[in-house]
């Protein structure tokens, strides 16, 4: 009989205690799995989001991260032109974010406006209709929530207002724009009302100096995205751009993920602590159950040893029982863990202002493997003491003590 077979047979002798132990290990394993997913899930999710459109470098005003503040880059067109001339840069484009207003029948709806370079944008994917083209100053892209808020559909004309002056009760700019497409903004939170215009139009509408009045608008951008040419090293290009533009903040996606990681230290540490506690609970449960079982069966073990059964066989039986407990509890724990991870993810992704595409619990094969290995190691560790107890039991003394 294999170790696992013997373990299963021994567990069936005490169904209630075995069931309780398996339930305990299942809950602990579920918690361990969830914490392993949480410990690195959000970083992977964030990284995928940033790299979703293939741009590996972000440039923002010095001391800020993209869209973290209202600060903007001035002379962004010159920076973009310089970047495009760089031999290691495949693509570069600016983007500008600011509040815009849409006129509805009886009021103004507040929207978040993105100014984009349609040929080099990392902010949206087109759902319906068609994309903006370079130089399009009469078109607009809407998110689903924005379309609902202003009751607009593809082909409709919407009136967009900018540069509101509350004291004069006057909008500096009013523009009729045709809805070209419905898009999904990658960084929007749930229900965010966002619209997209070409960068040039957005600069005109929001230019505080009144560029729309006739003169050229200031070439402002909230951030610039850069796609590095195939074969070029992203960190090397980022370092070179940082040296070339010392008054700008140049970050590769890896650096942004590292910054994001710093902001979420609390969750990562909580995951490590709770994961460790889960493992400890599993070890204690398995260890306690096996120790008591071995103590109860000392007479049986001594008899087996007396008729020639080897120590190694006894040890295998005890370790097999521990492994059976771990496997059964772990299998149940995976199912429970997937359900609880989904539930916990639902709670955490309701953070205000968090992009809807972000997930905190990301199932990754290597994370699942890590949790499985940790659990198996913990189960084995827990079985060592009772196995030693069983192997070291003195045969004669035990048989005398157990005699009727």
Residues at the contact surface with another protein, assessed by CB under 8 A? 16-17, 20-21, 23-24, 27-28, 30-31, 34, 61-63, 71, 74, 108, 110, 164-166, 169-171, 208, 247, 262-266, 270, 274, 277-278, 281, 284-285, 288-289, 292, 340, 343-344, 347-348, 350-352, 404
Tell me how far, at minimum, the Cβ of 52 lies from another protein, in Å. Answer: 24
Nearer to another protein, 191 or 208 (CB): 208
Nearer to another protein, 320 or 337 (CB): 337
Tell me how far, at minimum, the Cβ of 183 lies from another protein, in Å. Answer: 26
Tell me how far, at minimum, the Cβ of 104 lies from another protein, in Å. Answer: 14
Tell me how far, at minimum, the Cβ of 159 lies from another protein, in Å. Answer: 15
Tell me how far, at minimum, the Cβ of 75 lies from another protein, in Å. Answer: 10
Nearer to another protein, 56 or 203 (CB): 203
Nearer to another protein, 17 or 128 (CB): 17
Nearer to another protein, 214 or 262 (CB): 262
Nearer to another protein, 154 or 277 (CB): 277
Tokens of 270: 């909580």
Tell me how far, at minimum, the Cβ of 62 lies from another protein, in Å. Answer: 5
Q: Alpha-carbon torsion 10, 15, 17, 20, what sign?
A: positive
């Amino acid at each position: 009989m294999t170790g696992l077979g013997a373990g299963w047979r021994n567990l069936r002798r005490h169904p209630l205690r075995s069931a309780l132990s398996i339930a305990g290990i299942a809950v602990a394993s579920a918690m361990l799995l969830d914490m392993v997913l949480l410990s690195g899930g959000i970083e992977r999710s964030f990284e995928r989001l940033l790299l979703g459109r293939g741009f590996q470098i972000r440039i923002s005003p010095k001391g800020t991260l993209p869209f973290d503040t209202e600060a903007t880059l001035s002379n962004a067109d010159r920076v973009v032109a310089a970047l495009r001339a760089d031999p290691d840069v495949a693509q570069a484009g600016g983007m500008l974010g600011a509040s815009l207003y849409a006129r509805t029948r009886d009021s103004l709806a507040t929207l978040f406006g993105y100014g984009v370079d349609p040929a080099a944008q990392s902010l949206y994917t087109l759902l319906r209709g068609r994309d903006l083209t370079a130089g399009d100053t009469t078109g607009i892209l809407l998110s689903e929530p924005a379309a609902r808020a202003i009751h607009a559909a593809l082909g409709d004309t919407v009136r967009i207002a900018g540069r509101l002056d509350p004291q004069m009760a006057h909008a500096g700019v009013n523009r009729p724009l045709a809805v070209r497409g419905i898009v999904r903004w990658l960084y929007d939170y749930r229900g965010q009302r966002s619209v997209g215009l070409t960068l040039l139009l957005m600069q005109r509408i929001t230019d505080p100096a009144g560029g729309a009045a006739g003169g050229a608008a200031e070439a402002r951008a909230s951030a610039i995205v850069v796609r590095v040419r195939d074969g070029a090293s992203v960190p090397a290009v980022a370092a070179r751009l940082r040296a070339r533009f010392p008054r700008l903040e140049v970050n590769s996606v890896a650096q942004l993920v590292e910054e994001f990681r710093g902001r979420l230290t609390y969750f990562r540490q909580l995951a490590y602590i709770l994961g460790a506690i889960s493992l400890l609970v599993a070890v204690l449960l398995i260890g306690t159950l096996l120790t008591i079982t071995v103590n109860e069966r000392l007479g049986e073990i001594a008899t087996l040893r007396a008729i020639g059964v080897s120590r190694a066989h006894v040890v295998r039986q005890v370790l097999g029982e521990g492994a059976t407990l771990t496997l059964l509890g772990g299998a149940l724990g995976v199912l429970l863990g997937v359900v609880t991870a989904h539930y916990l993810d639902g709670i955490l992704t309701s953070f205000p202002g968090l992009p809807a595409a972000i997930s905190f619990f990301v199932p990754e094969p290597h994370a699942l493997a890590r949790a499985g290995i940790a659990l198996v190691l913990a189960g084995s560790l827990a079985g060592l003491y009772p196995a030693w107890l069983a192997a070291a039991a003195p045969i004669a003394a035990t048989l005398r003590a157990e005699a009727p």
